Structure 1
Protein backbone atom coordinates (compact mmCIF):
# COMPACT_ATOMS: atom_id res chain seq x y z
CA UNK A 1 0.00 0.00 0.00
CA UNK A 2 1.56 3.26 -1.14
CA UNK A 3 0.84 6.18 1.17
CA UNK A 4 1.14 9.84 0.22
CA UNK A 5 2.57 10.69 3.63
CA UNK A 6 3.04 14.36 2.77
CA UNK A 7 -0.70 14.66 2.11
CA UNK A 8 -1.54 12.72 5.29
CA UNK A 9 0.68 14.94 7.45
CA UNK A 10 -0.72 18.15 5.98
CA UNK A 11 -4.29 16.85 6.30
CA UNK A 12 -3.87 15.88 9.97
CA UNK A 13 -2.18 19.17 10.86
CA UNK A 14 -4.69 21.19 8.86
CA UNK A 15 -7.51 19.86 11.03
CA UNK A 16 -5.88 21.02 14.28
CA UNK A 17 -6.51 24.32 16.02
CA UNK A 18 -3.76 26.92 15.42
CA UNK A 19 -0.68 26.15 17.52
CA UNK A 20 -1.73 22.57 18.28
CA UNK A 21 0.50 19.65 17.30
CA UNK A 22 0.20 15.99 16.42
CA UNK A 23 2.44 13.08 17.29
CA UNK A 24 4.03 10.86 14.68
CA UNK A 25 1.79 8.06 15.93
CA UNK A 26 -1.35 10.12 15.27
CA UNK A 27 -0.17 10.79 11.71
CA UNK A 28 0.78 7.15 11.10
CA UNK A 29 -2.60 5.98 12.44
CA UNK A 30 -4.37 8.43 10.11
CA UNK A 31 -2.54 6.78 7.20
CA UNK A 32 -3.16 3.17 8.30
CA UNK A 33 -4.78 2.54 11.68
CA UNK A 34 -4.00 -1.19 11.68
CA UNK A 35 -0.37 -1.15 10.49
CA UNK A 36 0.69 2.28 11.74
CA UNK A 37 3.93 1.09 13.41
CA UNK A 38 5.44 0.28 10.00
CA UNK A 39 4.87 3.89 8.91
CA UNK A 40 6.60 5.80 11.71
CA UNK A 41 9.93 6.00 9.85
CA UNK A 42 8.11 7.24 6.75
CA UNK A 43 6.39 9.91 8.87
CA UNK A 44 9.75 11.06 10.29
CA UNK A 45 11.47 11.24 6.89
CA UNK A 46 8.56 13.03 5.23
CA UNK A 47 8.25 15.46 8.15
CA UNK A 48 11.94 16.32 7.82
CA UNK A 49 11.42 17.21 4.16
CA UNK A 50 8.34 19.34 4.88
CA UNK A 51 10.16 21.11 7.73
CA UNK A 52 13.13 21.87 5.47
CA UNK A 53 10.67 23.54 3.09
CA UNK A 54 9.14 25.53 5.96
CA UNK A 55 5.71 23.92 5.45
CA UNK A 56 5.57 22.36 8.93
CA UNK A 57 7.46 22.65 12.21
CA UNK A 58 8.99 19.74 14.09
CA UNK A 59 8.91 20.40 17.82
CA UNK A 60 10.71 18.91 20.80
CA UNK A 61 9.60 19.97 24.27
CA UNK A 62 7.22 22.47 22.65
CA UNK A 63 9.96 24.34 20.79
CA UNK A 64 10.91 24.22 17.10
CA UNK A 65 13.66 21.68 16.44
CA UNK A 66 16.24 21.56 13.68
CA UNK A 67 14.90 19.02 11.14
CA UNK A 68 18.46 17.83 10.47
CA UNK A 69 19.44 17.21 14.09
CA UNK A 70 16.37 16.31 16.19
CA UNK A 71 16.28 12.99 17.99
CA UNK A 72 13.78 11.17 20.13
CA UNK A 73 10.14 12.02 20.69
CA UNK A 74 8.82 14.84 18.52
CA UNK A 75 5.58 16.47 17.45
CA UNK A 76 4.45 18.19 14.26
CA UNK A 77 2.50 21.39 13.73
CA UNK A 78 1.90 24.05 11.13
CA UNK A 79 4.15 27.13 11.27
CA UNK A 80 3.09 30.06 13.42
CA UNK A 81 4.08 33.69 13.28
CA UNK A 82 7.39 34.17 15.06
CA UNK A 83 8.74 30.66 14.44
CA UNK A 84 12.41 30.48 13.62
CA UNK A 85 12.22 28.25 10.56
CA UNK A 86 15.17 26.83 8.65
CA UNK A 87 15.98 28.44 5.33
CA UNK A 88 14.49 26.43 2.45
CA UNK A 89 17.02 24.00 1.03
CA UNK A 90 18.25 24.77 -2.45
CA UNK A 91 17.76 22.06 -5.02
CA UNK A 92 20.98 21.28 -6.86
CA UNK A 93 20.75 21.78 -10.59
CA UNK A 94 21.79 18.77 -12.66
CA UNK A 95 25.23 18.99 -14.21
CA UNK A 96 25.15 20.08 -17.83
Structure 2
Protein backbone atom coordinates (compact mmCIF):
# COMPACT_ATOMS: atom_id res chain seq x y z
CA UNK A 1 0.00 0.00 0.00
CA UNK A 2 1.40 3.36 -1.01
CA UNK A 3 1.48 6.74 0.65
CA UNK A 4 -1.55 8.02 -1.29
CA UNK A 5 -3.52 4.95 -0.19
CA UNK A 6 -2.71 5.70 3.45
CA UNK A 7 -3.59 9.36 2.95
CA UNK A 8 -6.97 8.43 1.45
CA UNK A 9 -7.78 6.15 4.38
CA UNK A 10 -6.76 8.86 6.83
CA UNK A 11 -8.81 11.46 4.93
CA UNK A 12 -11.92 9.26 5.02
CA UNK A 13 -11.59 8.75 8.78
CA UNK A 14 -10.82 12.42 9.40
CA UNK A 15 -13.77 13.63 7.33
CA UNK A 16 -16.08 11.26 9.17
CA UNK A 17 -14.73 12.33 12.56
CA UNK A 18 -15.80 15.92 11.81
CA UNK A 19 -19.42 14.88 11.26
CA UNK A 20 -22.27 13.48 13.27
CA UNK A 21 -21.86 9.76 14.01
CA UNK A 22 -24.49 8.71 11.45
CA UNK A 23 -23.44 11.17 8.74
CA UNK A 24 -21.92 9.99 5.49
CA UNK A 25 -19.31 11.24 3.07
CA UNK A 26 -18.74 10.70 -0.62
CA UNK A 27 -15.42 9.15 -1.66
CA UNK A 28 -14.90 12.26 -3.79
CA UNK A 29 -14.49 14.34 -0.64
CA UNK A 30 -11.45 12.28 0.38
CA UNK A 31 -10.18 12.30 -3.21
CA UNK A 32 -10.44 16.09 -3.36
CA UNK A 33 -8.68 16.53 -0.02
CA UNK A 34 -5.78 14.23 -0.91
CA UNK A 35 -5.61 15.63 -4.43
CA UNK A 36 -5.26 19.14 -3.05
CA UNK A 37 -2.43 18.09 -0.74
CA UNK A 38 -0.56 15.99 -3.33
CA UNK A 39 -1.20 18.00 -6.48
CA UNK A 40 -2.99 15.08 -8.15
CA UNK A 41 -6.23 15.40 -10.06
CA UNK A 42 -9.01 14.35 -7.67
CA UNK A 43 -10.86 12.45 -10.38
CA UNK A 44 -7.82 10.18 -10.77
CA UNK A 45 -8.11 9.40 -7.06
CA UNK A 46 -11.74 8.27 -7.13
CA UNK A 47 -11.11 4.55 -7.59
CA UNK A 48 -8.22 4.60 -5.09
CA UNK A 49 -10.62 6.33 -2.63
CA UNK A 50 -13.21 3.59 -3.17
CA UNK A 51 -10.50 0.97 -2.59
CA UNK A 52 -9.47 2.77 0.60
CA UNK A 53 -13.09 2.63 1.78
CA UNK A 54 -13.20 -1.12 1.05
CA UNK A 55 -10.05 -1.66 3.12
CA UNK A 56 -11.61 0.30 5.98
CA UNK A 57 -14.75 -1.86 5.70
CA UNK A 58 -12.57 -4.96 6.00
CA UNK A 59 -11.11 -3.53 9.23
CA UNK A 60 -14.57 -2.74 10.60
CA UNK A 61 -14.00 1.02 10.66
CA UNK A 62 -16.62 2.08 8.08
CA UNK A 63 -19.65 0.90 6.14
CA UNK A 64 -20.43 1.53 2.48
CA UNK A 65 -23.96 2.55 1.64
CA UNK A 66 -25.97 2.91 -1.53
CA UNK A 67 -29.50 4.21 -1.49
CA UNK A 68 -29.27 4.52 2.29
CA UNK A 69 -28.57 0.80 2.80
CA UNK A 70 -25.35 -0.97 3.74
CA UNK A 71 -24.04 -2.85 0.71
CA UNK A 72 -21.35 -5.41 -0.04
CA UNK A 73 -18.27 -3.40 -1.00
CA UNK A 74 -17.01 -6.14 -3.30
CA UNK A 75 -20.06 -6.06 -5.55
CA UNK A 76 -21.42 -2.51 -5.37
CA UNK A 77 -21.39 -0.43 -8.55
CA UNK A 78 -22.23 3.22 -8.99
CA UNK A 79 -22.40 6.06 -6.45
CA UNK A 80 -21.69 5.17 -2.83
CA UNK A 81 -21.54 6.89 0.54
CA UNK A 82 -19.31 6.03 3.49
CA UNK A 83 -20.13 6.20 7.21
CA UNK A 84 -18.49 5.06 10.41
CA UNK A 85 -19.38 1.54 11.50
CA UNK A 86 -21.60 1.52 14.59
CA UNK A 87 -18.89 -0.04 16.76
CA UNK A 88 -15.96 1.95 15.36
CA UNK A 89 -14.18 4.69 17.26
CA UNK A 90 -13.43 7.97 15.52
CA UNK A 91 -9.71 7.22 15.21
CA UNK A 92 -10.04 3.60 14.12
CA UNK A 93 -8.18 2.49 11.09
Which bracket does the TM-score occupy, shorter chain normalised?
A: 0.7 to 0.9
2:53 is aligned to: 47
Greater length-normalized contact order (CA 8 Å, ≥ 6 residues apart): 2
TM norm structure 2? 0.77
Does the alignment pair 1:15 with 2:18?
A: yes
Please, which runs of 5 or more residues in structure 2 have no aligned partner? 88-93
Following TM superposition, where does structure 1 have runs of at least 4 consecutive aligned residues deviating by more than 3 angstroms?
Answer: none
> Do 1:59 and 1:75's aligned partners in 2 also have CA atoms closer than 8 Å?
yes
Q: Which residue is equivalent to 2:64? A: 58
Q: Which has the higher helix share?
A: 2
Using structure 1 for the length normalisation, give the TM-score.
0.75
Contact 1:12/1:30 (8 A) holds in 2 = no
Secondary structure of the 2:60 match is: coil
RMSD of aligned alpha carbons: 1.5
